[in-house]
Chains A and B, each alone.
Chain A
């Protein structure tokens, strides 16, 4: 019987991600465990290691873990890929919903002085730092794709996209980069 080699490959494999030296670059974010938590933020307490932010559109991060406010009772939890079972155990038995969406979406890091300009080619939000400061996150749209956008630094964003939209989003950003002048 022939040997079967099973390996994980990213949905972004084979795609050329947009980048222009010193202007903006898009790279795949480190593979992560991802969960959607729905319920009372108090129930999870310290179990996740980060108290869930209750201020709208705020993200809290510590190391590889992050909790992103998506709605009044909805958070996106990120953790190192190896910690998926640890996070799931933290909520086990509590009257709340925890859904593993680790393989549903893929993360992209968009950084550089023109990162906001590139995203604004398809995102209708005001991404000026005064309006969308570091630590702010939200579900929004990029052209025809729904995304989660999180500003991790003055010139860096993390974007979470549905994996089936990855070729579309990458193609869109490659095209949009032509419109970024400097």
Chain B
């Protein structure tokens, strides 16, 4: 079982208490009425789907109930960093980006 560090509970908790919430930092246009169909479709459906480091939302649904963000390596499934919702994506040093 994966252990995921919850930034609100401030401890590593078992994966089964969490739910995945999709890509993080997807910003909803402030005025949807002024957005072209193509841009709106991109906001709704287009995701980065990278092979490597992915910033994504998780929710500690069977714990504190809060959403937060995680940086996960989609190749190794290793979660490298978690941080509170609403804060910018933290930089990783090269060592961490290696997934080790």
Seen from chain A, the residues whose Cβ lies within 8 Å of a Cβ on chain B are 56-57, 70-72, 74, 124-125, 138-141, 146
Contacting A at CB under 8 A, from B1-20, are 1, 8-11, 13-14, 16-17
Cβ–Cβ contact A140 & B66, under 8 A: no
Contact (Cβ within 8 A) A56 B10: yes
Closest partner residue, chain B, to A55 (CB atom): B10
**How many inter-chain residue pairs (CB < 8 Å) link A and B?**
38
Do A57 and B9 touch (CB < 8 A)?
yes
CA A140 to CA B63, docked complex, whole Å: 5
Give the chain B neighbours of A139 by CB distance below 8 A.
Answer: 62-65
Q: Known: A124-B14, A124-B16, A124-B17. Is A72-B8 also a contact (CB below 8 A)?
A: yes
Residues of B within 8 A of A124 (CB): 1, 14, 16-17
Return the chain A residue nearest B16 by Cβ.
A124
Which residues of chain A are within 8 angstroms of B64 by Cβ–Cβ distance? Answer: 56, 70-72, 74, 138-139
Are A71 and B17 within 8 A (Cβ)?
A: no
Which residue on B lies nearest to A142, using beta carbons? Answer: B62
* A125 CA to B15 CA, complexed, in Å: 10
Please, which residues of chain A bring their CB within 8 A of the CB of B66?
71-72
With A71-B64, A72-B64 given, name 14 new contacts (CB 8 A).
A56-B8, A56-B9, A56-B10, A56-B11, A57-B9, A71-B8, A72-B8, A124-B14, A124-B16, A125-B13, A138-B64, A139-B62, A141-B17, A141-B62
What are 13 A-B pairs at a CB distance below 8 A? A56-B9, A70-B65, A71-B64, A71-B66, A72-B8, A74-B65, A125-B13, A125-B14, A138-B63, A138-B64, A139-B64, A140-B17, A141-B17
